[in-house]
Structures are given as C-alpha cells and as structure tokens.
C-alpha cells in the first residue's frame, strides 16, 4: 500500500492532505524521512507524523452529524472560524468528513475513520443522491424549475441530473427540495444566484440512504456503515 493511502486509511487526513504532509517532510517510515507519496509500506511498518504513530484502521466506522450554520468542514481554518471537529466528543477517534457543506449551510454531514471509504462516497461516479431543503425569500416561477430540471449552464458549467420541486410557497417565501447526484462545488447556491433567488436557509436532509431524523445542530451519532446502501 502506498504511504499516502496508508495515512488516509488510518483516518489521519485525506490522501491529498497526506501528500502535502509528505512534501513538507512531516512523515517518517521506520524513523526514516519519507521522500515521496508513492512509496509502498507494509502494515507492520512504523509510520509517524509530527512524532505521532499512525495506525491503520481495519474496521470502518461511520458517524452522522447535524452541522450547524457558521461552521467549517475543515480541520484547520486560516480565518480561525469554528469547525465541525470542535463538536466531536473527546473520546472519539480521529475522523474525516465525507464531502463538505459550506460555511452558511447546515444539516447532514458524514464522518468516517477510513479515507478510502470517504473517497468512494465522494466520487461523482458513485452516483449517490443528496437531498436538500432550501428556503427562498421570493416567489419561484414554475418555468424556472423546469429549466433547472432539464439542466442549466451557468458560467460555462453544466448542472444536470437535478430534480427540484416546490414544497410550499407564499408571497414572501418558497420552500424547495433539491435532489442531486453530481454534487458540484456550491451547486445549489450557484443555481439560486443565477435565478436571483435569495437563500434564507439551506439544509442537507439526506446522503444516500442516511437521513437526518431528530438530531439537533451539533449532535453526532455513530451508525453502522454495513446496512446502508448508498444510492
């Protein structure tokens, strides 16, 4: 197994972040400096990062969390804003997030101790459905909904395979449900900005077959990854 993949599977960080640590000369293999991210290691090799021993996680673990608003989904924020990892119990093992929600968004975020598992669930080719509820501070035209469902091009980017429905609407506010599988960066916010829909609240309700239930912002719960079908 390559060293970057080993670090990712150990739940220390993503594979890309592991490569950065290697390039910064922070990683050692059996007390020798690791000089490249493609070096192969064995399970019994001693891997250390900043003096800490990194052990491979054989058992995949999965948690679901209600991410509050005004919270980042990163380990280290240059602006020193609060992150989801500050909400984790002290006795919880190191975990990485599966995808992200932006600073202002809230709702379901998944965490795991296994980098390969996280990457599999993040890839567009996995075709995993994500469901969001979005509150808009305006009336929404049905023709605009049809345009989105057919696919729209915004700033040269095609947003496709989106299903948007109106849940409730009055003269001041509209509740929309977005179902999408691609999950491009800030996809929903870019679409709403294009149609000049001011967003009041954006909540992720579901990722694959995993749903928010009665969790409150900041709450986290471990779930069994085996029974879930990510479709």
Q: Which residues are catalytic?
A: 102
Alpha-carbon span 23 to 227, nearest angstrom: 38
Alpha-carbon span 206 to 190, nearest angstrom: 20
Side-chain half-sphere exposure of 52, counting CA atoms within 13 A? 8
- Burial 150-169, CB ≥16 within 10 A → b, else e: eebeeeeeebeebebeeeee
C-beta of residue 63 within 8 angstroms of C-beta of residue 220: yes
Give φ, ψ of 19 to 5 degrees. -65, -35
- C-alpha dihedral (163, 167, 169, 174), degrees to nearest 10: -60
C-beta of residue 204 within 8 angstroms of C-beta of residue 131: yes
């Amino acid at each position: 197994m390559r060293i970057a993949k080993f670090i990712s599977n150990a739940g220390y960080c993503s594979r890309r972040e592991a490569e950065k640590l290697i390039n910064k000369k922070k990683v050692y293999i059996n007390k020798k400096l690791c000089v490249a991210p493609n070096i192969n290691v064995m399970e019994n090799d001693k891997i250390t990062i900043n003096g800490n021993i990194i052990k491979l996680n054989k058992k995949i673990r999965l948690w679901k969390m209600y991410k509050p608003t005004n919270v980042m989904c990163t380990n280290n924020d240059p602006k020193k804003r609060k992150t989801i990892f500050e909400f984790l119990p002290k006795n919880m093992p190191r975990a990485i997030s599966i995808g992200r929600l932006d600073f202002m968004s809230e709702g379901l975020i998944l965490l795991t101790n296994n980098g390969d598992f996280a990457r599999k669930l993040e890839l567009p080719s996995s075709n995993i459905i994500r469901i969001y509820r979005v509150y808009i501070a305006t009336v929404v035209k049905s023709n605009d909904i049809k345009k989105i469902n057919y696919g729209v091009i915004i700033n040269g980017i095609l947003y496709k395979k989106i299903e948007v429905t109106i849940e409730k609407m009055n003269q001041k506010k509209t509740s929309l449900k977005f179902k999408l599988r691609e999950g491009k960066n800030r996809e929903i916010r870019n679409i709403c900005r294009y149609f000049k829909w001011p967003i009041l609240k954006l909540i992720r309700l579901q990722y694959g077959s995993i749903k928010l239930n009665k969790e409150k912002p900041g709450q986290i719960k471990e779930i069994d990854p085996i029974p879930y079908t990510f479709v």
